Chain A
Amino acid sequence: MSAENGMSRRAALVKLGVLLNSAVGIFLAVPIVRYLLSPVTRQKKFGYDSWLSLGALDQFPTGQTRLATYRNPLVNDWDGETGNIACWVRRVDDQTFQVFAINCAHLGCPVRWFPQSSLFMCPCHGGAYYQDGSRASGPPERGLFQYRYKIEDGKLLIKAGEMPTPGQPVANKAGGMRTCA
């Protein structure tokens, strides 16, 4: 190429340099974006949806609602107390339970059980739920999230591993975390 054709040798080299750097930039951007999106793009590992023990059945008297804790299966050594997740267990009769996520279905605040009024109340925005987890009043548009459960060897097991949120498919679909009301 020459200046007579409208492009000098140096101008062509500048364009070549820009092209080369663009190609390298794209080449480097792909792994960087993949790295940043890894919580989304990676396969859901074992632990997102596991059977976890809440303890022996006799810890949960019939007709009462008790606070229980499980250790999330997908934790690191440095996660500290955040790996211990609380939930509410209601024993309806000998073989029937309801296990509620502690998070309010409105904005995820911790609901608290008031046996005096048989209501779950949320301290953030006043959401209230009946003892069966169905919505009683306040801003939540649904009942409390429920974990699936089973009884095995005299222990209560729940299927858990992921924080329930209103937009989460597993929290809404039938057969996942059941919706109250």
Chain B
Amino acid sequence: MRLIQKLGNWFDLRLQLGTPIRETAMHRVPRETASWFYVFGSAALTVFMVQLVTGMLLALIYVPSAGEAWNSLQTLNHGISLGWFIRALHGWGSNFMVAIVLIHMVQVFLFGAYKFPRELTWIVGVLLLLVTLGMAFTGQVLRFDQDAYWGLGIGASIASRVPVIGPWAVNLMLGGPIIAGATLSRFFALHVFVVPGLLIAFVGVHLLMVLKLGINEWPMPGRIVRRATYMQEYHELTQKEGVPFVPNAVWKDILFSGFILIAIAVCAIHFGPLWSGWPTGSHDYSDRTTPRLLFFVAVCFALVPAPACRDAHPADWPRHRNHCPHGAPIRRGRRGEELEAQADCRAHGSSDCGGARHPDPLG
């Protein structure tokens, strides 16, 4: 023990990190924040660490080439000891991270933590959500299986609809005229270098602001956030009624993070790696692209008869809302006709138009 203490002192004398770490650990937080509602941010950070470690392990084997990516995943699954487990941890970690960041955002919103002086913490948090979603999408592409290929097709179709620059955005996204090797290369660079760099930078700024501005107190009815007095009130609250972050609040963070890690591991063992099972490419998809459950809901919509004016260009639909160019009315179904009749009735100032229990959905 004495040797460890000597080593610690030797490093601390040179790194000068002991004091700031102790101050960070012991900083006072409002008593109510030592709550299970406040554990999602630290859990997201924990999962991010898991993603970093498992991502580095996968990069030892993965080949970012359109012709070899899928085969290298086969090697990971079947040729490397517990390669499938590392893949599964990374895939399920991604799902958990997206879910936890979303829950964290909802909690922060409901608790009013976006108010003064934490507006920028909230904005950086929103950027972190976007970057997390970016990591999930770019990571799915790296599998370069059927899901990845058609997911890219969807991304390209969405990008192409951006006004003016749409076609350029598609070429920039795909790295060429079609989904091919250049596409995988740039998504690999995004997933491994660019987006994680942004993520680490945003996490650093986010944590710094959380430490400097403090965790927001439990919202109370009637307690108004006033810019002129809030900082002083928060300081008094933490000094008089606050508790040190370690150990009073941190134990819940640690326990919850542990539960999340167990949940990820259980999903990884039970469900295995995320995988559509077939290599990428458009030429042999027919028997391999299977519709999801929601497809059957979509089919129900597909079976609804098309409007009589289907020849009209979508841009002209508002103009032809009531009548087609050649005079045939658009079929909208009985419910649609009722709603329109009610809306017309109200437009003419009548108070008894039927369906008055709800606001006019067309209004």
Contacts and interface: CB of A to CB of B under 8 A. Distances in A.
Given A80-B68, A110-B150, 4 more contacts: A75-B180, A80-B280, A110-B289, A124-B298
25 contacts: A39-B175, A40-B168, A40-B171, A72-B180, A76-B180, A80-B65, A80-B68, A80-B281, A81-B284, A82-B66, A82-B183, A85-B283, A102-B282, A103-B157, A106-B157, A107-B157, A112-B286, A125-B298, A126-B301, A128-B302, A136-B302, A165-B157, A166-B161, A167-B160, A168-B167
Interface residues of A, number: 51
Interface in B256-299: 279-286, 289-292, 295, 297-299
Nearest to A171: B160
A123 B289 contact: yes
B341 interface: no
A176 B156 CA distance: 19
A69 B66 CA distance: 18
Contacts of A90: none
A107 B154 CA distance: 5
A137 interface: yes
A81 B177 contact: no
Contacts of A112: 286, 289
The listed residue with most A CB atoms (<10 A of its CB), out of B154, B171, B304, is: B171
Contacts of B179: 82, 163
Contacts of B290: 123
**Most chain A CB inside 10 Å of its own CB: which residue of B168, B183, B282, B305:** B282
Nearest to A141: B314
A128 B304 CA distance: 11
A86 B287 CA distance: 13
Interface residues of B, number: 56
A67 to B, nearest CB: 6
B156 A165 contact: yes
B180 A39 contact: no
Interface in A133-150: 135-138, 141-142
Contacts of B182: 39, 76
Contact of B181 (A40, A78, A84, A141): A78
B302 A138 contact: yes
A138 B310 CA distance: 11
A181 B283 CA distance: 26
Contacts of A162: 177-178
A84 B283 contact: yes
B289 A85 contact: no
B178 A82 contact: yes
Interface of A: 37, 39-40, 47-48, 67, 69, 72, 74-86, 102-103, 106-110, 112, 121, 123-128, 135-138, 141-142, 161-163, 165-169, 181
Interface string B323-357: 00000000000000000000000000000000000
A17 to B, nearest CB: 26
A124 B152 CA distance: 13
Contacts of B67: 77-81
A165 B302 CA distance: 22
Given A40-B172, A136-B306, A167-B167, A81 B157 contact: no
Contacts of B298: 124-126, 138
A84 B290 CA distance: 20
Contacts, number: 169
Contact of A79 (B180, B284, B285, B311): B180
A127 B302 CA distance: 7
B13 to A, nearest CB: 34
B154 A67 contact: no
B302 A39 contact: no
B66 A137 contact: no
Nearest to B71: A80
B97 interface: no
A127 to B, nearest CB: 7
A181 to B, nearest CB: 7
A136 B302 CA distance: 8
Interface string B148-159: 011001101111
B204 interface: no
A86 to B, nearest CB: 4
A66 to B, nearest CB: 11
Contacts of B280: 80-82
Contact of B66 (A78, A85, A163, A181): A78
Given A80-B281, A107-B157, A123 B291 contact: yes
A110 B285 contact: yes
A110 B158 CA distance: 15
